[in-house]
Chain A
């Protein structure tokens, strides 16, 4: 690895850390700016009880001191403090519980999006301008312009209510089929289009012609020779794909009642559970930023032809 690549990676890591710090800071101050403070919506509390509550959550100290402890707790112990609405539970425990389901959901969706997308994209490129290519492109265009909550609701109506073949409740294993499909369809369509265009690009190159001249069969050229290079632009999509899956899971988990982190987040917003909102935002944001970082670095390292600015 050249020193230039190393410098780029260091710069990129620096930007990622800066971004995460901005997220934590913005989240903290935005939440503190809420008029009336976090206990406003509770029933009328006496002056002394309010004081006691504020002391318990450390809200009586100066703002900068609060910020300092909050930042220190996150960095050193991954501690976001206790939840305001769910008595006796720590924010990190709630996030951890939700994460188990959500990560499973997201990984399965990403896996299907990637494999099906790559295969469909390659087929479309191989059969360029044939009927199969055209129908793949039409279907993916429709999927790409459909918001996740629309897709989820429509799948729910069709498969769980009208046909009644799949369960609508996502808390069982069979119930995961619909939410996973909802989450996977958009990235799948996107990867298909991405793979098709980069595959067409690669198929026009000299080494493919050489392979053809040597008598290598069509499918073997695509999957053995071309895919390796055609996959590179897809790597850059890893980060955005994760961001999509995270934000998509907020509504998908809501629609299918999946007990994941997305539903916890939405419930914390409607329930005004401030510490939980802060914690979830920071965890999810960090996840997305780190994933973007990895896919950016991978992209530069995998393909030596890409020049670094």
Chain B
């Protein structure tokens, strides 16, 4: 069909179906990436952080599942059998040694699971105590950080949101708590709380956790929320003034949309990173207190209390100190390196 000059008629030739070659052009070569996916990719590129992550996952899984499979319990004194004399040959076994009755059973052709790290002075399998201690230390670190996160987030966002006098009063309190020497206060509170709590807890569910761990949590809740709340308040104050919030508001976005789409995604990475960095801090504090004798209640082990107990027999059984020491250092180091990696991966702004 010949097209007339200046005609408004559409040219039908422009509307032929697309060929296969044309369609290929429209195929999505790579799915669009989200902020989270980008971050994970950056994190996995960082070798140090990936190895740290693997170490942490491995230790966590081992500390959860090994005690279920292990033939010995952490508080089982091997030499103590009901109705029999205490068999002292089980105390202070070296790695891969057996007690008297076990040797007799082996002579009878029975297979006995070895004590990989030997036993401690009360005849308890030391390997499972290390595993259990790792579990306790990790759990304390994790829950303490969650507590700090919740309290810090609540108070920080209240201060940032309301501003004015509320903000002023909260920030003065934060200033004072911040300048308190934290370790001394932790020791003071922990030493008093564990006595005060002992009476209160009797007969309740919480008794199983033990007064010492609970007092540790309370101490964390009272003292360590300040830096988290400072951080969140700062985030809220600075984000509130950003131009893109103003732009969103100008184009008619409501409060809930702004919070969900702008405020949370932009501040969440900072919050997660500082929570992750809080965990090694909490593990360190717990082991420090355990070392001073203010940690978990016996016979429950934690890495710090195991190290502290090992000091008594250090001349002959120094490996009993070295093992928990290596485990704590490894956990704290990998958590710190992972935290740094997370910061690099999820918060390019911080790096400058």
Query: Which residues does chain B contribute within 8 Å of A162, judged by CB atoms?
Result: 318
The residues of B that contact A156 with a CB separation of less than 8 Å are 314
State the majority secondary structure of interface residues on B.
helix
Separation of A19 and B280 alpha carbons in the complex (Å): 27
Q: Give Cα distance in the complex from A145 to B293, angstroms.
A: 22
* A18 to B173 Cα, complex, angstroms: 11
Asked whether A292 lies within 8 Å of B179 as measured between CB atoms, the reply is: yes
Cβ of A30 < 8 Å from any Cβ of B?
yes
Contact B195 A34 (CB under 8 A): yes
B287–A147 contact, CB under 8 A?
Answer: yes
Which residues on the A side are within 8 Å of B288 (C-beta)? Answer: 147, 149, 247, 251
Contact of B180 among A30, A33, A157, A285 (CB under 8 A): A285
Could you tell me the distance between the alpha carbons of A246 and B186 in the complex, rounded to whole angstroms?
Answer: 14
Number of interface residues of B (CB under 8 A): 40
Contact string against B for A residues 18-58, beta-carbon threshold 8 Å, 1 for contact and 0 otherwise? 11001100110011011100000000000000000000000
- Docked CA distance A269–B195 (Å): 12
Asked if B336 CB lies within 8 Å of chain A CBs, one says yes
The residue in B184, B185, B293, B321 that gathers the most chain A C-beta atoms within 10 A of its C-beta is: B184
Is the CB of B328 closer than 8 A to any CB of chain A? yes
Q: Which residue of B lies closest to A270 (CB)?
A: B293
Interface contact A247-B196, CB-CB below 8 Å: no
A145 touches B336 (CB 8 A): yes
At the interface, yes or no: A84 with Cβ under 8 Å from chain B?
no
Contacts of B195 in A (CB 8 A): 34-35
Q: Which of A15, A142, A147, A289 interacts with B181 by CB under 8 Å?
A: A289
Residues B318 and A157 in contact, CB atoms below 8 Å apart: yes
Judged by a CB distance under 8 angstroms, whether A202 is at the interface is: no
- Report whether B181 and A246 are in contact in the complex, using a CB–CB cutoff of 8 Å: yes
Partner of A288, one of B181, B304, B329: B181
Name which residue of chain A comes closest to B284, CB basis. Answer: A147
Please, how many angstroms separate the alpha-carbon atoms of A152 and B336 in the complex? 21
Q: A19-B180, A285-B180 are in contact. Are A269 and B199 (CB under 8 A)?
A: no
Chain A minimum-CB-distance residue to B324: A150
Q: B332 contacts A145, CB within 8 Å?
A: yes
Known contacts A19-B176, A30-B188, A250-B292: A157-B322 contact under CB 8 Å: yes
Looking at chain A's contact residues, the main secondary structure is: helix
State the CA gap A35–B280 with chains docked (Å). 33
**How many angstroms from the CA of A153 to the CA of B307 in the assembled complex?**
8
Find residues 292-322 in chain B having any chain A CB closer than 8 Å to their own CB.
292-294, 304, 307-308, 310-311, 314-315, 318, 321-322
B197 nearest CB neighbor, chain A only = A35
Q: Are the C-beta atoms of A145 and B180 separated by less than 8 Å? A: no
Known contacts A27-B188, A270-B293; is-contact A154 B325 (Cβ 8 Å) = yes
- Whether A161 lies near B183 (C-beta < 8 A) is no
- Tell me the chain B residues, 146-163 only, with Cβ under 8 Å from chain A: none
CA gap between A91 and B291 in the complex, in Å:
25
- Residue of B192, B280, B294, B311 ringed by the most chain A CB atoms within 10 A: B192
Whether B293 contacts A15 by the Cβ 8 Å rule is no
Residues of A within 8 A of B294 (CB): 269
Query: Is A277 part of the contact surface with B, judged by Cβ < 8 Å?
Result: yes
B245: CB under 8 A from chain A? Answer: no
Given the interface contacts A34-B196, A250-B292, does A147 sit within 8 Å of B332 by beta carbon?
A: yes
Per-residue contact bits, chain B 64-88, to A (CB 8 Å; 1 contact, 0 not): 0000000000000000000000000
Indicate if the CB atoms of B329 and A289 lie closer than 8 Å: no
Interface: B46 (CB within 8 A): no
Determine the distance from Cα of A266 to Cα of B183 in the docked complex, in whole angstroms. 13
Evaluate contact between B179 and A150: CB separation under 8 angstroms. no
Bitwise, B277-290 to A at CB < 8 A (1) or not (0) is: 00010001001100
Indicate whether A71 reaches chain B with its CB closer than 8 angstroms: no
Contact of B329 (CB < 8 Å), options: A15, A33, A145, A254: A145
- Would you mind naming 12 contact pairs between A and B with Cβ atoms under 8 Å apart? A22-B180, A30-B192, A34-B195, A35-B195, A246-B184, A251-B288, A269-B294, A277-B191, A284-B184, A285-B185, A289-B181, A292-B179
Interface residues of B (CB under 8 A from A): 175-176, 179-181, 183-185, 187-189, 191-192, 195-196, 199, 280, 284, 287-288, 291-294, 304, 307-308, 310-311, 314-315, 318, 321-322, 325, 328-329, 332-333, 336
Known A-B contacts: A23-B181, A150-B329, A254-B292. Give 13 more (CB < 8 A). A15-B175, A18-B176, A23-B185, A30-B188, A30-B189, A142-B333, A149-B291, A149-B307, A157-B318, A162-B318, A246-B184, A285-B181, A285-B184
